[in-house]
């Protein structure tokens, strides 16, 4: 068994999750944890190359899915697995729930095939030959797609996903809601439409409630 802590950050583009990862990292470090900050797709030299392809080159849903899982496998083998084995907290900006939400719900890719690929990619990473590594906690930043679209319109030039219409993000948001309903203990829903400080406070409370930060009973 690993002794580390694996926490993932999820939400549609424009949900605001990325700006809160550093806040949680600071809080965990203050509580005495070593922290690895990383992201998907990406987190290794190979996976960052795959990220650039995924975000910029036109391709079909199967190719997208294969690239996302190839990047994930490399990331798990080289960064996430070793960091968890050292007892660190790994904070990862997106993980497999994003594949279910974007390629599954967004693009319409077969969810049963995704489940098979999830098992394939996440097995044999420090937990024994048959156990699938999953996040200990997934912080799901939930915002209405219309709010996220307004935020994106005010931000940098969009990538291939950010350029999608609001209907695509409505499907992705439903994909996240379905994943959360299927794993209610793993997911904590954070209301991403609140003012920034309240979003951060709700996130920290969700982690503290699990006994991983001082300030709330486990």
7 among the known binding-site residues? Answer: no
Exposed (0-12), middle (13-18) or buried (19+): which is 61, by Cβ within 10 Å?
middle
- State yes or no: cis peptide before 73, omega within 30 of 0: no
User: What is the dihedral sign for C-alpha 182, 186, 106, 170?
Assistant: positive
- Measured from the Cβ of residue 191, the count of other Cβ atoms closer than 10 Å reads 11
The residue to which tokens 């079909």 are assigned: 60
Nearer to ligand TMP, 61 or 208 (CB): 61
Q: By CB under 6 A, which span of 82-90, 98-106, 122-130, 139-147 interacts with ligand TMP?
A: 98-106
Segment interacting with ligand TMP (CB under 6 A) among 24-32, 97-105, 119-127, 198-206: 97-105
For ligand TMP, which is the closer residue by CB, 142 or 162?
162
Q: Which of 6, 102, 168, 187 binds ligand TMP (CB under 6 A)?
A: 102
CB 99 within 8 A of CB 68: yes
CB distance 35 to 159 below 8 Å: no
Among 4, 5, 13, 16, binds ligand TMP (CB under 6 A): 13
| Residue 161 sits in the site that holds ligand TMP (CB under 6 A) | yes
| Residue of 36, 99, 122, 202 that binds ligand TMP (CB under 6 A) | 99
Residues that bind ligand TMP (CB under 6 A): 13, 39-41, 55, 68, 93-94, 98-99, 102-103, 161-162
Annotated binding site for ATP: 11-18
């Amino acid at each position: 068994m690993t002794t580390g802590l694996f926490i993932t950050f999820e939400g549609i583009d424009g949900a605001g999750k990325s700006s809160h990862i550093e806040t949680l990292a600071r809080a965990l470090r203050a509580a005495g944890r070593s922290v690895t900050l990383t992201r998907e797709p990406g987190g290794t030299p190979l996976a960052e190359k795959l990220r650039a392809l995924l975000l910029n080159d036109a391709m079909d849903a199967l190719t997208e899915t294969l690239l996302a899982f190839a990047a994930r496998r490399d990331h798990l083998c080289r960064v996430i697995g070793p960091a968890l084995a050292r007892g660190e907290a790994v904070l990862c900006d997106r993980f497999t729930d994003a594949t279910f939400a974007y390629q599954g719900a967004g693009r319409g890719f077969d969810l049963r095939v995704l489940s098979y690929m999830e098992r394939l990619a996440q097995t044999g990473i420090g937990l024994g030959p048959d156990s699938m590594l999953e996040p200990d906690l997934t912080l799901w930043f939930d915002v209405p797609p219309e709010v996220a679209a307004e935020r994106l319109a005010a931000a940098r030039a969009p990538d291939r996903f950010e350029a999608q219409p609001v209907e695509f993000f409505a499907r992705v948001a439903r994909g996240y809601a379905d994943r959360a309903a299927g794993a209610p203990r793993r997911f904590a829903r954070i209301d991403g439409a609140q003012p920034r400080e309240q979003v951060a406070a709700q996130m920290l409370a969700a982690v503290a409630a699990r006994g991983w930060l001082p300030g709330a009973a486990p």
